[in-house]
């Protein structure tokens, strides 16, 4: 155990929409009884990708005592889950994350993925 950055879930704010589950490439999040949960803390790398897609602000990052992130545990977990990662696309030009970096953006409660090429157009109109 060591102090490190890890996701924190506010159960009062979580409405169980599930939007955060797929963007987590490590498969660290799941829904349980209608609330998002971190399955095992060693699966969460604290990158915070899930924060941007949460429409209710239930997700945040905090620094606290937690097991170290483990890539080996992630590989084992994903293999056990037979989880299929769902690649994302830019909502403006449909470019895949294989082609360009995608950034999560929010507008009027909607969460979308936008590629770096379209982002300036989104910002400046
Ligand atoms: S995206 Fe937010 S509201 Fe939806 S399940 Fe995840 S934590 Fe809960």
Instruction: Give the mutation target among 7, 11, 18 for probing the ligand 1 site: most ligand atoms within 8 A of CB.
Output: 18
pTM of the model: 0.72
For the Cβ of 6 lying below 6 angstroms from any atom of ligand 1, the answer is: no
Q: How confident is the model at residue 52 (pLDDT cuts 50, 70, 90)?
A: confident
pLDDT, residue 104, reads: 84
User: Residue 1 pLDDT more than 90?
Assistant: no
User: Under a CB-based contact definition with an 8 Å cutoff, are residues 43 and 73 in contact?
Assistant: yes
Q: How confident is the model at residue 38 (pLDDT cuts 50, 70, 90)?
A: very high
Q: Which atom of ligand 1 is nearest to the CA of 57?
A: 2
Q: What number is the average pLDDT over the span 27-39?
A: 95
Q: Where are the domains of the chain?
A: 1-85, 87-125
Topology annotation, domain 1-85: Alpha-Beta Plaits (3.30.70)
For residue range 78-98, list pLDDT tens digits in order. 888 876 667 789 999 999 989
3-state secondary structure of 101: coil
């Amino acid at each position: 155990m060591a102090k490190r950055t890890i996701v924190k879930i506010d159960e009062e704010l979580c409405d169980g929409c599930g939007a955060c589950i797929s963007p987590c490439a490590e498969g660290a999040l799941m829904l349980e009884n209608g609330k998002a949960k971190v399955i095992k803390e060693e699966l969460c790398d604290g990158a915070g990708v899930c924060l941007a897609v949460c429409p209710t602000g239930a997700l945040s990052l905090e620094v606290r005592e937690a097991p170290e992130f483990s890539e080996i545990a992630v590989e084992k977990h994903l293999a056990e889950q037979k989880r299929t990662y769902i690649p994302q696309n830019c909502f403006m030009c449909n470019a895949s994350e294989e082609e360009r970096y995608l950034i999560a953006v929010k507008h009027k409660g909607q969460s979308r993925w936008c590629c770096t090429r379209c982002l300036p157009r989104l910002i400046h109109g």
